Structure 1
Amino acid sequence: MPGLTHCQLYLQRLGYDSPPPPTLQTLRELQLRHVCTFAFESLSTLMHLPVPIDLPSIEQKVLLDGRGGYCFELNYLFLSLLQALGFDARGLTGWVVMGGPPDARTGRTHRLSLVTLDGVRYISDVGFGGMVPSSPLQLDTEATQATAHEPYRLTFNEGCYTLWAQVGEEWRGLYVFDLQPQADIDYEIGNWYVSTHPASTFVGQLKAALLAPGQRHTLSNANYAVHSLDRPSEKRAIDSADELLALLQTTFGIRLPVQPQLREALERLVKA
């Protein structure tokens, strides 16, 4: 919108008419509103396109072009908003272990943020796909922590923290991280791997996620699921590119890029 700064536009998208104060309640509201407003999505890597992670490129893509993004984009955008609002916040990186042993050491391919409020440290994450925490989590405790969705907890061992989510009766390890300061090049290296390496789970693949009150909507290639807190998950396979396009636009709120290879990539997924 003409005349609005990116920060003002971002706040408008999150439902704010004026900048809120840098408090824990604000952090909770911002994080929940973000994960229910901006989709996690990998359309660029599906189409083998570059994923620039400088702030102007992210602001253009997410705030102006109506897209979503993944952790190196969404968490940088969110961190820039927190810092503009006066929060004491900085970026971190971690190793994703979801789907594998919780003590595995993969590459540093996840970005998140550390926020300190009145001497208490929290992690804030708006870019972990279908299992993104919908509330900030206090760092220096191993107690189970309620969020707006599932319970989470953090454990600490040998200088590293592990984030766990309770799914049903099971605790699942999501990622491991430490508090080592990160430079821009650290994020560039992680993003290069995620967006270009043949072994990356994002290259040539479609992933999307968006939260709603009591629900998580997820898309993995042509497999769509709605996970609810109060009833069993609903899962189905999408069998046409047109249905995938409609789902991305309506359910995930993504303004689709005008790229000729998008339909071709989606048709490949539904035929796989």
Structure 2
Amino acid sequence: MADPSRLHFDATDLAAYLDRIGYSGPVAPDLPTLRALHAHHVAAIAFENIDPMVRRTPDLSARGLMAKLVHGGRGGYCYEQNGLYLGMLQQIGFAAHGLMGRVRWGAPADTVAPRSHMMIHVTLPDGPYLTDAGFGGMTPTGPLKFEADIVQETPHEPFRLLRDGSDWLLQAEVAGTWSDVYRFDLNPQIPIDYKASNYYLANSGDSFFTQGVIAARHVAGQRMALGNHSFTIYPTGKAPQRRTLKDAAEICDTLETEFGIRLSDRDALIARIEAKKT
């Protein structure tokens, strides 16, 4: 009987994943591998919400994640990104499991959000690390050691972890200001724990992911973000470069060229964008 506490990938899946993210270096359950996979993943596989936009619930099974994110040239949101990433870490031999947190990014200080974001806990010989390949525009681009109140550099912005009782708070420093990213505890999650939230986020009219097209990608030296008709490049340490996209076709063009997303359902997405506009 299959173990319900994890998704099951095999050596062939791992080889295809490594090819998808463009990583050909050594693979072992150690910190250099974790750092390399994290950076390559967020550069190669875009964060995007096309399935929720066209009212299709993402398939979080191992087969579904391989078909879409690895072989299909698509991206996805946190349950897909981190579900795939976690499964590959476990296949390599990392001691890793999922976590769940409350999004704080861009929210008023008194907002209490539901537990809706997935991230990953990894245990290494020198201690535990947080790794997360799926938080959209503010995705950390390197693993962070579970050590409170220290500034930790990543290939992009600095991050830090704070303690509040049994909870942890992730913060990012942007333009000299520390802002909350998400709050979470260390209670391990298994695949079924994400199922209800995945369905809600993909189908509810109140969900952020059904309101408009979003995408993000994080390559060396810059982040890229798309929100409906706004496309922005954030060069590390420099002023953002913003461009307005004139119509749904240009949005789709940008998803394909800048984010590397293969749009097999381009017409359906254009129709949905136009419907949301009216």
- Do they superpose with TM above 0.5? yes
**Structure 1 segments (4+ residues) deviating >6 Å:** none
Q: Percent identity?
A: 37
Q: Provide the residue aligned with 2:195 in structure 1.
A: 188
CA RMSD of aligned residues (A): 1.7
In structure 1, C-alpha distance between the alignment counterparts of 2:109 and 2:64, rounded to whole Å:
34
| Range that drifts further, 11-20 or 75-84 | 11-20
Aligned counterpart in structure 2 of residue 203 of structure 1, from 199, 210, 225: 210
Aligned counterpart in structure 2 of residue 34 of structure 1, from 32, 41, 49: 41
**TM-aligned CA deviation for residue 268 of structure 1:** 4.4
1:231-270 equivalences in 2 (<5 Å): 231-258=238-265, 260-268=267-275
1:46-85 equivalences in 2 (<5 Å): 46-85=53-92
In structure 2, C-alpha distance between the alignment counterparts of 1:203 and 1:261, rounded to whole Å:
14
In structure 1, C-alpha distance between the alignment counterparts of 2:259 and 2:181, rounded to whole Å:
23
Q: TM-score, normalised by structure 1?
A: 0.93
**TM-aligned CA deviation for residue 8 of structure 1:** 0.6
- List alignment gaps of at least 5 residues for structure 2: 1-10
**TM-aligned CA deviation for residue 119 of structure 1:** 4.5
Q: TM-score, normalised by structure 2?
A: 0.91
Contact 1:47 1:204 in 2 (8 A): no
Q: Report whether the alignment pairs 1:167 with 2:166.
A: no
CA 161–102 in structure 1, closer or farther in 2 if over 3 Å, else same: farther
CA 212–230 in structure 1, closer or farther in 2 if over 3 Å, else same: same
In structure 2, C-alpha distance between the alignment counterparts of 1:185 and 1:22, rounded to whole Å:
25
Aligned counterpart in structure 2 of residue 16 of structure 1, from 16, 19, 23: 23
Contact 1:38 1:210 in 2 (8 A): yes
1:134-145 equivalences in 2 (<5 Å): 134-145=141-152
Aligned length: 268
- List alignment gaps of at least 5 residues for structure 1: none
Aligned counterpart in structure 1 of residue 101 of structure 2, from 72, 75, 94: 94
| Range that drifts further, 19-28 or 60-69 | 19-28
**TM-aligned CA deviation for residue 78 of structure 1:** 0.2
**TM-aligned CA deviation for residue 17 of structure 1:** 4.0
